[in-house]
Amino acid sequence: MNPWRTNFWRNLACAVLLLVVGLSLAANWLAPAGYARQFREATDAAPSRVHWLGTDEIGRDRFARVLYGTRISLLLAPAAALLSTLMAALVGGLAGYLGGVWARAAMAMTDLFLSLPWLFLLITVRALLPLNVSPLFSVLVTFLMLGLLGWTSAARVLCSSAGSLRESDFVRQARASGVRGARLFWIHVLPNLKAVLLAQFWISIPVFILSEANLGILGLGVAEPMPSWGSLLRELEGLISVGEAPWKFVPLILLVVVVTSFQLMLSKQEQAA
Amino acid sequence: MLGKMLGRKMRRKIMGHALAIVATVLLGGLLSATLVRLAPGFDSDEAQLDPHLNSASVQALRQARLDQHNIFRFYFHSLQRAAHGDLGTSLSLGQPVTLLLRERAPLTLRLVGIGLLLSWAVAMAMALSAAWLRVSAYDALTTAISGTFLCIPAAVLALLSVLWNVPGALAIALIVFPSVYRYSRNLLAKAYAMPHIVSARARGLSELRILFWHVVPVAGPQLLAVAGVSVSLAVGAAIPVEALCGLAGVGQLAWQAALARDLPLLTNLTVLVTIVTLLANSSADVIGHMLRAQEA
């Protein structure tokens, strides 16, 4: 592909992400009414000058909820991705570095996790946790669970990368010079896994955003009144036709645009890895 | 001699997979039992609050709960019952899990089966046409289409299928096909770029002949691995599709169990789904190995 065109798409994706993040961070100024305030005189209203995207069925401003929901998803999905990448680095990186029985045991464990369909695993673990928790706790539980369960495929990649690094000339030379154990891992192996780690981090973000949306639509995600893309998309459930209330599709369009932007950014990271 | 060696290798591979499945089931079962046992609210039983029960009955219920305190004993009893075909009783629906599964599995199998067939048909048609045409605009278009579907949550696709009266199987196909397309397109592109295939094309061999004689033997084993993965994707997609389309299958059952915190039902379903996906992946691996052995 033409490098100029590739860069154009990546720059565009980066600009879109920055714009969306900026807007979500400015939610307090752009939508001062907040995400929970009810306008009882205007329930399920169409877009107007006061409510740019209308209101939901209990009169909450949809524009405010979209902005706050975007903020939650875009702040916590990368946090969950960071957690899962760190866990993958620790489990996969160490297993690959140590090799032998350790690598086999770690990979058997990751295979066990990977053999489970992702959504099945998520709803099972979510059901094990109390469902009637405070909204803030539900946000933390949802994203923490994504971070704690989403490290397995990244661990596999890191295990194989660390395994090949273990046999590389510079690691052998370092070992011959007397560098061993944790020092060898921290100073020589881990820094060389940086590109792979970064790629895995970027891969995880859209996956976690989509997973939260799926959980939210199924009623197992973030609790009301806290907005998230999942809970906002639940509004589509009651629609009879697209033309009935097209503004209800705004969260979906925003989600698709953001995930697409992450995918476009991702290819650069993948190349680096 | 070579045949015997390959046969022995194959038997060892099948044994390895069978052992892996047994180990996964046992380990998964132990994990499930531990999670059920440690989940908040396990020690309390709603039945103990029933005013119709006398103190002796309540005491008996309490004793039954106390007997399950030891995780390993709890797991051992669960295994014993499972060996006799008793997977326990659903807490929320009050029916045996085996009965619920017998009632709902056929629908899920049909949905997943048709969904997989459709997704593979669409994905392969797109991937093959992209490989044959070699027009960058067409390749960009198919990639954009699959990329868009990849960026839409599975549950939204399920909701849209309800909105547009699309059958559940088609919704599963739309969820699965982008991943299948991406993998198969890359595999086919790699295969078509191989020197002997480029040379065959240059000599004017028909596309079908090139496909079946040269491309399939190269990309076939890897495509089989993708087939194994796609089963797992389709089973996962069954949850939102069945739950939101109102289809009474295993996916809807799992969702209802999650909402009702019916852990015995949910963990049994999870272990069973794991077995299905492991069987699919193992079969794909063994068949792929057989194809490679034949090729050798």
Chain A nearest C-alpha distance from B154 (Å): 7
CB A56 within 8 A of CB A65: yes
Q: Residue holding tokens 């970064």?
A: A198
CA distance, residue B255 to nearest chain A CA (Å): 7
Does ipTM surpass 0.90 in this model? no
Of the candidates A116, A117, A210, which has its C-beta nearest B153's C-beta?
A210
Closest CA to A224 of A126, A134, A161: A134
Range in A85-99, A256-270, B187-201, B236-250 with the lowest mean pLDDT: A256-270
Q: What per-residue confidence (pLDDT) applies to B2?
A: 56
3-state helix, strand, coil in chain A (%, to 5): 75, 0, 25
Helix or strand run (H / E) with residue B221 = helix B216-245
Question: pLDDT tens, B3-13?
Answer: 666 677 778 87
**If we measure between CA atoms, which residue out of B235, B269, B268, B271 comes closest to residue A112?**
B271
Instruction: Identify the structural domains of chain A with CATH numbers, from first to last.
Output: 3-31+61-272 (1.10.3720.10)
Size of interface A-B (CB pairs under 8 A): 122
Beta carbons of A210 and B24 less than 8 Å apart: no
How many CA within 13 A on the CB side of residue B168?
24
B61: pLDDT strictly greater than 90:
no
**For residue B166, which of B103, B233, B244 has the smallest C-alpha distance?**
B244
Q: Give the gap in angstroms from C-alpha A248 to the nearest C-alpha of chain B.
A: 12
- Judged by CB atoms closer than 8 Å, whether chains meet at A220 and B155 is answered as no
Q: Is B270 on the interface with A (CB under 8 A)?
A: yes
Least confidently predicted of A122-131, A213-222, A246-255, B60-69? B60-69
Predicted pLDDT at B34: 77
**How far is it, in rounded angstroms, from Cα B146 to Cα B125?**
13
pLDDT score of B73:
76
Angle of the A250-272 helix axis to the B136-150 helix axis, nearest 10: 120
Pick from A147, A162, A270: which is nearest to B182 by CA? A270
Interface test with B, best of A214, A231, A255, A267 (most B CBs within 10 A): A214
| Partner residue facing A214 (CB), from B150, B154, B267 | B154
Residue A33 reports pLDDT greater than 90: no
Mutate to test the interface with A, among B31, B156, B179, B279 (most CBs of A within 10 A): B156
Interchain CB distance below 8 Å, B240 and A214: yes
State which residue of chain B sits closest to A239, comparing Cα positions. Answer: B163
Of A116, A218, A263, nearest to B270 by CB-CB distance is A116
Whether the per-residue pLDDT at B46 is higher than 70: the answer is: no
CB B221, CB B184: distance < 8 Å: no
Q: Nearest Cβ partner of B151 from A115, A219, A256?
A: A256
Dihedral sign for Cα atoms in the order A35, A40, A46, A51:
negative
| pLDDT > 90: percent of chain B | 37
Average pLDDT over residues A99-112: 83
Let me know: does A185 contact A94? Beta carbons within 8 Å. yes
Mean pLDDT taken over chain B: 85
- Does A252 sit within 8 Å of B240, measured CB to CB? no
pLDDT greater than 90 at residue A211: yes
Residue A55 forms beta bridges with which residues? A61
| Of the candidates A75, A87, A86, the residue with the CA atom closest to the CA atom of residue A209 | A75
Interface residue B159 vs chain A (CB under 8 A): yes
* B199-252: pLDDT as tens digits: 998 888 888 888 888 888 888 888 998 998 899 899 999 999 999 999 999 999
A61 bridge partner residues: A55
For residue B270, the chain A residues in CB contact (below 8 A) are: 116, 120-121, 124
Taking CB atoms within 8 Å and a gap of at least 24, the contacts of B36-39 are B36/B74, B36/B263, B36/B264, B36/B267, B37/B68, B37/B69, B37/B71, B37/B74, B38/B71, B39/A128, B39/B261, B39/B263
pLDDT of residue A122: 86
Looking at residue A92, the DSSP 8-state letter turns out to be I
For residue B235, count CB atoms less than 10 angstroms from its CB and return exposed for 0-12, middle for 13-18, buried for 19 or more.
Answer: buried
Tell whether the model's pLDDT for residue A87 goes beyond 60: yes
Local structure of residue A60 (DSSP, 8 states) = B
Tens digit of pLDDT for each residue in B96-135?
Answer: 999 999 999 999 999 999 999 999 999 999 999 998 888 8
Between B28 and A193, whose confidence is greater?
A: A193
